[in-house]
Amino acid sequence: MQEDEEKMYNNVLENYEKATRNKIYVEGVDGGRFEMKVNDSKSVYVWGCVNTVVSLSGKCNHVFLYDSDKVVLRVDNCVSGITCMNSKNCSILITVIPEYNIEVSNSDCINIRSGFFNTPIVYRGVTMNIIKSLNCRVYEYYEVNDGILTNWNFNFFNF
């Protein structure tokens, strides 16, 4: 019996180390700019940051933006997508046309900006703007305000 517990413990430890090896954390930063080169095996977690600019060059696996205020997140490209939760007054600037999933929940005043969109966005309890802009010129935008205590919504943006 003790041998089985030891195998299980070693398995959990090994999988935990494997999972955290491919994560980059930017946590609790108040002010400042970060530029990081990423690859498609890395996921980036921006957590509890205020007045911060995070620039990700390269293609990362996934980007998470949690519990942040006044954060600008510049993303070149992603494999699986972007998740934004419990954040406010944040901008997500996307370089390559997003063809992955974006999820936004319990967030206020979120701007998602790209040159073009071919993107499914799942959202709940948000106010956000989906902005098509090139060279700082806004060509089209959609305002989303689904209120508090709503069900999950889905919209495919292709413009």
Report the CATH number at residue 46: 2.160.20.70
pLDDT of residue 47: 96
Answer yes or no: are the C-beta atoms of 138 and 120 closer than 8 Å.
Answer: no
Residue 12 domain-assigned (yes or no): no
Cα radius of gyration rounded to whole Å, the chain: 17
Instruction: Give how many domains the chain has, as a whole number.
Output: 1
User: CB within 8 A of 123, min separation 6: which ones?
Assistant: 103, 104, 105, 144, 146, 152, 153, 155
What's the pLDDT at 18? 66
Write the burial class of residue 1 (CB in 10 Å: 0-12 exposed, 13-18 middle, 19+ buried): exposed
Whether 59 maps to a domain, the answer reads yes
Predicted local distance difference test score (pLDDT) of residue 3:
77
* Cβ–Cβ < 8 Å for 36, 57: yes
Mean pLDDT by 10 residues, the chain (159 residues): 74 69 92 94 96 97 97 96 98 95 97 95 96 92 87 92
Residue 19 belongs to some domain of the structure: no
What does the pLDDT read at residue 147?
78
